[in-house]
Amino acid sequence: MPILNDLLAQAVFLAALPAVAGVFVTATLLVVSRDWRLNTIALALQYFFVTLLMTQVTRVEMAAVKALIGWVICLVFYLTEQQARAPARLDQSEGTLSLRNWFLARLEGWRHQGISARAAFSFMAALLVGVTVYVSSSAMPLPQLSQSLTMVCYLLAGLGIVLLGLSQDPLRVGVGLLMFLSGFDLFYVALEPSLVVTGFLGAISFVIALGTAYLKAAQLAASGEERAP
Amino acid sequence: MVDLLVLTPLLPLLGAGVLMLSSLLLAGFTIKRSYVRVVTTVLAAAVVMLVSGLIVGGRGGSRIALPSLYPSLLADSAAEIRWDTTLWPLGLSLSIVVGVFLLVGVNESEYRLYVVPGVLIFLSAGLAAIWSANPLTTIICWALYDSTAALGRIAAGEEREDVVRSLALGTGAGLLIWAGTLVAEGGIGSVQWALMPAGGAKMTYWMVAGLLRLGAYPLHLLPPRQVRSTSPLAGAFALSAVLGWGLWIRLALVSNQALPVGTWTGVPALLTLLGGGVLAWTAKSTRESRTWISVAGNGSVLLSVTLVSMQGEPVVPTMTLGAVAWVLGTGILFLGGGWDLSQSLRGKTLLRSIPSLIGALSLIGAPATLGFVAESALLRQLGRADGWGWSVGFLIGQVFLVAAVIRWLLVSDAIEGGDAGPIGEIVCGAGLTSLAIALILVGIVPNILLAGANVYSRVSLTSLLAAPNLVGWLLWLVSVVLGGILAWLDRGLRPRISLWLDVVHDVVLLDWGYEWLAGALEKGFGLFRVVDDVLGGRGALLWAVVLLLILVLLVGG
Amino acid sequence: MIAGLLLFLVLPLMVGGVVYALRRWGTLSSLLSIGTTLVLGTVILVLPLGRTVELWGRQIVMGGTVSFLGRELILEEVDRIAVAFLYLTASGIFLLAWQMSPRTLLFPVGLGMLSLFSGSLLVRPLIYAVLLVEIAIAVSVFALQVEGCPSARGALHYVAFSLLAMPGLLVIHWLMDRYALTPDNTVLLDTGAVLLFFSFALLMGSIPFHMWMPSVASDSEPLASAFVFTVNCGAIWFLLLAFLETYPDLSAAVRFAPFASGAGLAMVGVGGLMAASQRHLGRLMGYGALIDSGVALIALGIGSQRGLALALLCLLVRPFGLTLMAAGLRGLARECGHDLTLGTVRGLARRAPWSTCAFLLGGVSTAGLPVTAGFAGRWALYRVMGVSGLTSVLAMMLASLGLMIGVWRALHVLLAYSESPDEGAEEAKRETTERWPRAVVVLLAVAASVAVGLIPQVLAPTATRLAGFYTFFGR
């Protein structure tokens, strides 16, 4: 933990516009993308940037706790998705795919097929939410927070709700809930800096992650039973 | 001193419990089926006869009250049943008829043991409903009655559409009573019927509730129609209208012995007689026609009561005796019939033929039968009615009723000896005879059932005979003659016009109307289902946000 | 000496762990769960507050204030009844689940949730209560998911809608603290009131946030759904009352009563229409729960002590209907593979008569019709609302009728035995799959419902007493 605190302390210079931009990019990516690897990385990065922003309103140690919880959640999602994709990978017998080849394959796919209608719609929705958030943050500032932090809170909450509304997959719904919670957490830690409350909010996030992972596993098990003769 | 009233609904319940327990305990033993049938039936019938005796023996003042809601901060209602000086004939007739059903049922080859406890529970609920002392108790007892009747009808093999419709109608009637208590100021749910203030919108709600219970046309959905079982016990469930009569008698007592009716009440009454008569005569078989004969007979009493009430005259004696006649007549309808003219005075058929004939005469309102009480009052009103519409309607309805009754009497299959042998025949005959004797005895001395009743007037046979004027008597005689001719021509005519009869039967039955209504409702509901699927499916949360924004705009705007 | 309060936090968790380990032995784990909840629910009612009692060689003291992880747990008289309600309701659900679905996660997860809900009722200040309730709601996902069913929509909707309510409730605490310091700043009060209304609208499924209720009922384990509709919703109701009692300015400032009435009317109206149109039995139950919640809100909207007592009475009788319905659905689901649409449940009344009976009587009780437990609450409510509230009463009656239309439609299909004599003979040979233990349990549940319907003073004084502890409507 001291190592994490030091790391965060060193990265504090990013806890301004770069972090805000980082949150916006990762949140948009989570809404638009369906690729589980990309989403997991984006979620982990988002937790990093949110933690950095949190250092503006609370102690570094508290922010570090939240970061830890967030990354453990990302690990849970990663393992669940990996489990989910395992049968498909075995069927395809592609062997191990390197990151570079994967990225090139993606790029090739986008070039030939273009962006899907769903992705385009999600992107437009994210843009719309972004514009609304920009206007709302100046019209309805949150107490105890600067305008940039208010914007981040509204952004995470808004995009979280969009993701909740557009998704049926348990893990994506879980990501949406966690984004919403992150946004609220960032605001509430300024109002109520109690460690117990932080712990409870972290527990809620963790239970949500476990719950959605469980639902995903149950879905997979049921689909597997249907496929089996 | 034991409160006898407590026992009248409780004994049938206990009897049903004992029977069900015995069947569970003795399930592993091999006992001859006929012994089981006889013992079961005799036990059940004995219970019912005891109940009947208690009803006759119990006199005024008996009451039991279920514990009340406490404290009064929430409500001060109490469920209470009370033996009534005017309603006891209704309870007695119901008990006797059910007892006879049970006795005769032992004869049947298709006897279903499990229906017996159902019939006993049904009787218990029926008696509790008749004795209910206030609207709250009436609502509760009607609901109990509907549940037990539905179970019994399912067990008796009735069509599911009929069961569901009767449940729906029963619930609707209960809701109307509830609504009536709500529209009255001051919350009168636990005010006794005897102390109920007269007038107000509540009386309209209650009258309509009673009309639903009576199975008035076009809401004639309560009586059983298609019954797969030939068991006579299924006929017990055709007596649901007795609850409606109980309510109407109470309302009449509240309103100075005259029902608070308008001209509108006479229309369904007339339609019930007309519709019931047409349906009875156009029914494919005499078995099917029994239900409609019963409906038409009920319609005749209904018409009599409404026309008398329109004149503001006391109607309680007519209503009480008319209802009793209907109950007894319906009993004979489902148990008798099959009068073989060639064997009418020989041996075993005598025990069935004579009661069946008496039952038929009562159903058509012949003098010296109990059915004549209501018929006499009706003919008196028709004789002096301003509009000729009532008379024409009565004539047509009565013609078909008479034709259908004669057809039933002569053509229907009689209940055979079955497995029970000569003893079964005697029991069956004795049961029918007891009903017939009641019809004749009370028809000659009607005041037997009115003794102790809180009624302004008494009736006698002579006053009944003198009541209708010439027009009234002519109407009745013409209807009987025409009906007789129709019945005589029936055998030759029916095969030639059977298709037309089926068409008329289907049209008058109104099932097409109900199916159209149900279809229209389903189409409407389909729209809601689509909305539900959309809002509750993908993007439910976003839809919620959109709806919230719309609501905020509407409210804020 | 053991602080009795801690028993209610720790014991269910411990037993839940044991039950989870033993879940392969359905009867054992079920009976353990039933016994635990029954004992705890009875103990909290019976043991006197503030006095030491010796139990199995241990001294236990109930009541007073206990410190747990730096936070205060306080057991007052009102909390006793609330906790007892939750535990006894859960024991009834577990009893039915013992016969209907003995090897589900409902038992261990339910026990865990009870522990969390107990904590939420006892802990001060209220922000911890909110957090504990949200954790319990998130945990319920494990119980809601049906094994072998690919759809997780119900659980996801429930968690999503409920979690969105949390921020508002947590911020209210901060707003009201500020308002106490600056009472002339009414913006704080208005914001708090809006957040209160919005948050509880989400938690209680008020229109337009009601979609989770039919989703939960249709896509989830039926008895777990009943647990959510009764125990979870019960805890939320007590949370609402705690908020109103703790912050009386909130209920006084905003026009709380009209809002509650309006929300209730909307729920009742939408619920009735949707229930009448349903062809899925699970969704029918969900809309029944929506109607019932709406009725309780309308009672609260009377805005008096009496109205509050009526709302609590509706809450107390609610489990009798919904639990029976859920038990019936579970029994039917076993016969038709969890697809509870009308097409698949055709003719099931013969194979599953007791489940059919439970579903029907549960529906009647939820609709508030005689002679079931639900009737007691509705009769009292309609009588009190009287002529002045005739529109609301009419709406509620029509909603009941709408629900009954759905139930009658279901009955019609359930009774659809085969018309063909050959198929009919085959069907008749297929005996019922329901054995006598299930029949006994269902009969017990039905008898309990009818008994409460006929003798409502079993529960009515409790509702009145409970209402007496809240003062926000004045005395």
Q: Give residue B70's pLDDT.
A: 38
What residues pair up with C74 in beta bridges, in sequence order?
Answer: C65
Q: Give residue B205's pLDDT.
A: 92
Three-state DSSP at A192 gives: coil
- Is B475 in the same domain as B528? no
Give 3-state DSSP helix, strand, coil % of chain A, rounded to 5. Answer: 85, 0, 15
Q: Is the minimum CB–CB distance between A192 and chain C shorter than 8 Å?
A: yes
Nearest by CB: B143 against C369, C380, C400: C369
Put simply, the answer to whether B541 touches A168 (Cβ < 8 Å) is no
Q: For residue C433, give the nearest of C306, C336, C308 by alpha carbon.
A: C336
Three-state DSSP at B318 gives: helix
- Is B462 in the same domain as B534? no
- DSSP structure class, residue B459: -
What residues pair up with B80 in beta bridges, in sequence order?
Answer: B65
Q: pLDDT tens for residues C63-82? A: 677 777 777 888 888 899 99
The dihedrals phi and psi of C67, each to the nearest 5 degrees, come to -95, 130
Q: Give residue B455's pLDDT.
A: 58
Q: Is the minimum CB–CB distance between C343 and chain B shorter than 8 Å?
A: no
Which stretches in chain C have pLDDT values below 50? 420, 475
Whether B514 maps to a domain, the answer reads no
Residues of C in Cβ contact (< 8 Å) with B77: 379-380, 383
Amino acid at C73: L
Q: pLDDT tens for residues C117-149? A: 999 999 988 899 999 999 999 999 999 998 888
Q: How far apart are the first and last CA of chain B?
A: 71
Q: Give residue B341's pLDDT.
A: 58
d(CA B137, CA B177): 11
d(CA B141, CA B126): 8
**So where are chain C's domains?**
1-140
Q: Give residue B257's pLDDT.
A: 78
Distance between B534 CA and the closest CA of chain A, angstroms: 13
Q: Is the minimum CB–CB distance between A165 and chain B shorter than 8 Å?
A: yes
Q: Give residue B72's pLDDT.
A: 43
Sequence-separated (6 or more) residues with CB below 8 Å from residue C328: C355, C356, C357, C358, C359, C360, C362
In chain C, residues 438-457 whose CB comes closer than 8 Å to chain B:
453-457
Regarding beta strands B63-65 and B80-82, do their DSSP bridges make them parallel or antiparallel, or are they unpaired? antiparallel
Put simply, the answer to whether A188 touches C171 (Cβ < 8 Å) is yes
Q: pLDDT tens for residues A169-216? A: 999 999 999 999 999 999 999 988 888 898 999 999 999 999 999 999
Put simply, the answer to whether B538 touches A168 (Cβ < 8 Å) is yes
- Spell out the long-range contacts of B529-537 with Cβ–Cβ below 8 A and sequence spacing 24 or more: B529/C277, B529/C278, B529/C279, B532/C214, B532/C274, B532/C277, B532/C278, B532/C283, B535/C211, B536/C211, B536/C214, B536/C215, B536/C283
Q: pLDDT tens for residues C318-367? A: 999 999 999 999 999 988 888 899 989 998 988 899 999 999 999 999 99
Q: Give residue A226's pLDDT.
A: 62
Q: Are A160 and A179 in contact (CB under 8 A)?
A: yes
- Is B344 in the same domain as B250? yes
- DSSP structure class, residue C232: I
- Using CB atoms, list chains with 3+ pairs below 8 Å to chain B: A, C
Whether B102 maps to a domain, the answer reads yes
- Is B401 in the same domain as B428? yes
Q: For residue C288, give the nearest of C338, C234, C226 by alpha carbon.
A: C226
Q: Are A18 and A50 in contact (CB under 8 A)?
A: no
Sequence-separated (6 or more) residues with CB below 8 Å from residue B223: B215, B238, B240, B241, B291, B294, B295
Give 3-state DSSP helix, strand, coil % of chain B, rounded to 5. Answer: 75, 0, 25
Percent of chain C predicted with pLDDT > 90: 62
CA–CA distance from C3 to each of C8, C138, C425 (Å)? 10, 28, 64
- Is B252 in the same domain as B331? yes
Provide mean pLDDT across the span A53-80.
Answer: 89
Q: Are B269 and B306 in contact (CB under 8 A)?
A: yes
What range defines the domain where residue B552 resides?
520-556
In chain A, residues 154-183 whose CB comes closer than 8 Å to chain C:
161, 164, 168, 170, 173, 176-177, 180-181
Put simply, the answer to whether B164 touches C208 (Cβ < 8 Å) is no
Q: Are A203 and C138 in contact (CB under 8 A)?
A: no
Residues of B in Cβ contact (< 8 Å) with A165: 539-543, 545
Q: Are B363 and B242 in contact (CB under 8 A)?
A: no
- Using CB atoms, list chains with 3+ pairs below 8 Å to chain A: B, C
DSSP characters over B6-57: HHHHHHHHHHHHHHHHHHHHTTTS---HHHHHHHHHHHHHHHHHHHHHHHHH
The interface predicted TM-score of the complex, written ipTM, equals 0.90
> Which pair of structure tokens corresponds to residue A121?
């719609």
- Is B422 in the same domain as B547? no
- Is B428 in the same domain as B346? yes
- Tell me: pLDDT of A131 over 70: yes
CA angle B167, B168, B174 (to 5 degrees): 90
Q: Is the minimum CB–CB distance between A166 and chain B shorter than 8 Å?
A: yes
Sequence-separated (6 or more) residues with CB below 8 Å from residue C38: C87, C88, C91
Distance between C307 CA and the closest CA of chain B, angstroms: 9
Q: Give residue A2's pLDDT.
A: 59
Amino acid at C307: G
Task: Please count the structural domains in chain B.
Answer: 2
d(CA A205, CA A73): 8
Whether B515 maps to a domain, the answer reads no
Q: Is the minimum CB–CB distance between C228 and chain A shorter than 8 Å?
A: no
Say how many CA atoms lie within 13 Å of C445 toward its Cβ: 36
**Mean pLDDT in each 10-residue stretch from start to end of chain B (557 residues)?**
64 80 70 67 74 68 52 56 78 88 68 73 88 89 90 81 89 93 78 82 91 88 65 78 92 83 83 93 88 93 91 87 94 78 58 84 92 92 77 92 91 58 74 89 85 66 85 91 91 87 91 90 92 89 91 83
Provide mean pLDDT across the span A129-137.
Answer: 89
Helices within C416-459 (DSSP H only): 421-429, 436-454
Q: Give residue B388's pLDDT.
A: 79
Element (H, E) at C274: helix C256-277
Whether B274 maps to a domain, the answer reads yes
Distance between C65 CA and the closest CA of chain B, angstroms: 32
Identify the closest residue of chain B to A169 by CA–CA distance. Answer: B538
Q: Give residue B69's pLDDT.
A: 41
Whether B162 maps to a domain, the answer reads yes
Q: Is the minimum CB–CB distance between C74 and chain A shorter than 8 Å?
A: no
Q: Give residue B1's pLDDT.
A: 41
- Tell me: pLDDT of A166 over 50: yes
Put simply, the answer to whether A211 touches C139 (Cβ < 8 Å) is yes
> Which pair of structure tokens corresponds to residue A139?
């019209």
Please give the model's pTM, rounded to 2 decimal places: 0.91
- DSSP structure class, residue C228: I
The dihedrals phi and psi of B329, each to the nearest 5 degrees, come to -65, -40
- Is B396 in the same domain as B530? no
